Chain A
Amino acid sequence: MTKVFPALVLAALATGALATAALAQRAPAPNPNPFAGNAQAVAEGMALYNRSCTACHGFNGTAGEFAPGLGQPGRRYNRRSDAQIFDAVKNGIPGSAMPAGAGRLSDEEAWKVVSYVLGLRGTAVDAPAPGDAAHGAEIFWGKGACGTCHMIRGRGSLIGPELSNIAGMRKTNSILDALTKSDHRVFGDGGAIPHTLLPLATYQRVRVTPAKGAPVEGLLRNEDSYSLQIMGMDQQLHLFDRAGLRAVEYLPGSLMPSDYDKRLTPQEFNDLLAFLTRQAAGRETATPSAVGDPD
């Protein structure tokens, strides 16, 4: 009994916390931000931000030399509400290098910056593209042949990026670019300074020729001065020590086609985008039936 008791207490606490959070979601306090959702204010907030905050943070919300990016998909934010971010802008963050900005920004200006910062964090799933997502799924697995490289919830191929949460990580524009441009931004952060070790955000094509045996072609998952980790076109992971290799060639171009707007009809393209902008882990979207594959 005594052994079980703490677990019970923890469970009760956790349930209580969840219930409180759920209640808070149902009846949110009125948003104090007079500019919430105001596109003009977001644009003005961006200009104010780039004028007032970029000594430390990077331009356009990216990571800067002295402070983190503010719209990074991988980051967990301590301050999420309009009021919390407003407080940080006006009063700084105690115990950190973030200074109080009260002397420089008026309340109105600070709220605009808040609107901009919150806008930075939105991803595709927050405003999924209109269209027939179920039809988009058919295009994804069928005519588009996306599944020959990509995987969604266990279905598809290991070669390219896994897309189950693509709409929770990327903005709609970024997904559009990936379908239509060869040189697209593959990660949302754009930050200058990596702070944690992450798998490569790029999918560099590479051909490795070992001292013995046939060359291996695939996509670089990681490398350093001493080793390479490659996902081969054969969907096998290949691990190499540089010391034993005859050649490492970095191949130009991407495996990803960039002409989906041409190889698909406009309707098919829109529906594919509708499907992709709803692929978000653990999120309910407007058309739940569109999530997952039709099998």
Chain B
Amino acid sequence: MSRLLGLAKLAACLLMGMTLATAQEIPELVKPDPKNWLTYSGSYDSQRHSPLRQITPSNVHSLAAVFAYHMAGQRNLEVTPVVKDGVMYISQYNRIDAIDARSGNIIWQYQRQPLNDGAQRGTTVYANRIFVTTADRHLLALDRRNGSVLWETAVHDNLQLAGGAPLVAHGKVIVSGNQPNGFIQAYDAESGKYVWEWHPVPHSADEPNARTWAGESWKTGGSPIWLSGSYDPESRLVFYGTGQPNPVWSGATRAGDDLYSDCIVALDVDTGTLKWYFQTTPHDVHDWDSEEMPVLVDAVYQGRPRKLLLQANRNGYYYILDRTNGQFLHGTPFVSQLDWSSGLDANGRPILVPGHDPSVQGTKTCPSTAGATNWPSPTYDPATGYFYVVAQEGCGLNYLESSAPDAETGYLESPREHESWQLYVRALDALTGRKIWDYRQIASHHYGPGLLSTAGGVIFAAEELGQFSALDARTGKPLWHFNTGDMLTAGPISYSVDGRQFVAVASGTNIFAFALPRAPGAGRGR
């Protein structure tokens, strides 16, 4: 049967005349040129580390804004722009703006009607293609040189795509979504043809994970998937985090572990087959989804070279897994306020402290529902060996609306308004989770933006209320800052054009780009 299918696929490929193009790894994605930033996380391993080293702790004080590009009609941009060969591509739902990455001048714009200002977080360049997720259940490939639509595919099963950036791996465009329940789908990057789907919540009682949901509670199981993933070209596995089970804050109707909610999963890139899973929060009643970016690192761990997967999870634990098989190697809290669990057992399963289920009168739990960290990306710097994460210290109240088994629920982020959270940029020893330094972001109390590390030894860390800061990667000492004048809820990137290193970040409705000043008069033309 499978052989027949294979033959059919081969025939289809031949018919389309793209035997070679289909399912190919693109070298520039496997080993990106440091001058480009081609994917959401900058590289398949999601380290968000730029090998560029022009900007250093000793010269970053003279970093200056080069341009601000206004993304008209949008709001609160959460997008990570991508850059290839001097052109920056900024995506939203239904939209891509291509601009000169040196000057901010617009080159072309693609706008599918209508304008949509939902949170869409990025896209990927694949050869001369760039991908658009639409608000009306379509996936598009554009020619990155002029915005021409190369193909347009209705999303399989008419599902709505979430705002996570598409990931292109082994010739597949991988996208995800939430409604009605979580899913990951793959499309052929050349043709747009649907290839596979994987869903964390069973679609029938016959699926093995259905046993981990009481009765038929899997039918409304949730587990949204709304962030991009990571990819290991060697094993051809993609790694994604899955979302929380439904109902969100009440587990009464869904006794069991509710697999594969709140998991890190490894899927075969060609078939979508689940290779392994690791569940961070079994039977979650706090909305601690496991979407936080899985970071892939090859390192000597406890005396032998290992292929690791690192994740700072919303539930407050920092995990180290073997990414070849999902084996739990180490886990430790990375926030000081964690009261729902007293530790992890040998398999990484949390040991619960009783009394933290949401209640009608409200139950205080630390971290809060928004978590010890959230979607803003961490970064890993191979030079320091540190894993940098935006840590959210704080607690929350979780409510049940009534004592009925199917009661709906809610939450408050802090038990008392003046006990708001405090955000930190926190450097951890990547192989132990031990805290190295903290940088307190004064007045940042909600969802820090993502982080960027650079080979120059500078960490770029935006602050929620508009300050874009540069920190010393080794000490956390602030070296430079710039007030963008609007909310910052996006992750920064670095790229270079004509040998000049830039750092860029979205703030409010603008993209800001920074670089070291050039000699007076340099670059002046007629």
Say if the beta carbon of B370 comes within 8 Å of chain A: yes
Contact A51–B407 (Cβ < 8 Å): yes
Q: Is A54's CB within 8 Å of the partner chain B?
A: yes
- Nearest 6 CB-CB pairings of A with B: A59-B410, A51-B408, A54-B410, A225-B442, A224-B443, A50-B401
Number of residues on chain A facing chain B (CB within 8 A): 29
- Does A96 sit within 8 A of B, measured CB to CB? yes
Which B residues lie within 8 Å of A196 (CB)?
Answer: 486-487
Interface residues of B (CB under 8 A from A): 75-76, 114-116, 118, 135, 179, 248, 287, 369-370, 399, 401, 407-413, 416-418, 440-443, 446-447, 463-467, 469, 478, 481, 483, 485-487
- Asked if A97 is at the interface (CB within 8 A of a chain B CB), the reply is yes
Asked whether any CB of chain B lies closer than 8 Å to the CB of A14, the reply is no
Residues of A within 8 A of B464 (CB): 194
Interface bits A86-116 vs B (CB < 8 Å: 1, else 0)? 0000000001110100000000000000000
Contact A59 B412 (CB under 8 A): yes
Contact B409–A54 (Cβ < 8 Å): yes
Please state if A50 and B466 are interface contacts (CB–CB under 8 Å). no
* Minimum C-beta distance from A252 to chain B (A): 10
Q: A65 to B226, alpha carbons, bound, how many Å?
A: 13
Residue of A nearest to B417 (CB): A185
Q: Is A249 an interface position by the 8 A CB rule?
A: no
Which A positions have Cβ atoms within 8 angstroms of B?
Answer: 47, 50-52, 54-55, 58-60, 62, 65, 95-97, 99, 183, 185, 192-197, 202, 222-226
A193 to B443, CA, bound (A): 14
A195 near B467: Cβ-Cβ < 8 Å: no
Contact in complex: B466, A197 (CB < 8 Å): yes
Chain A residues with CB under 8 A of B135: 95
* Minimum C-beta distance from B459 to chain A (A): 14
Question: Closest residue to A53 on the B side, CB-wise?
Answer: B408
Chain B residues near A225 (CB, 8 Å)? 440-443, 463, 467, 469, 478, 481
Q: A50-B401, A55-B248, A224-B442 are in contact. Are A197 and B413 (CB under 8 A)?
A: no
Is the CB–CB distance between B467 and A226 below 8 Å? Answer: yes
Q: With A224-B463, A225-B467 as given contacts, are A197 and B409 in contact (CB-CB < 8 Å)?
A: no
A183-B418, A224-B442 known; A194+B487 contact, CB < 8 A? yes
| CB-defined contacts of B407 to chain A, threshold 8 Å | 51
Bound: A208/B408 CA distance, A: 47
A54-B409, A225-B463 as given contacts; A95 in contact with B481, CB under 8 Å: no
CB within 8 Å for A95 and B466 given contacts A59-B399, A223-B443: no
- A54–B408 Cα distance when bound, in Å, is 8
Q: Bound state CA distance, A62 and B399, in angstroms?
A: 14
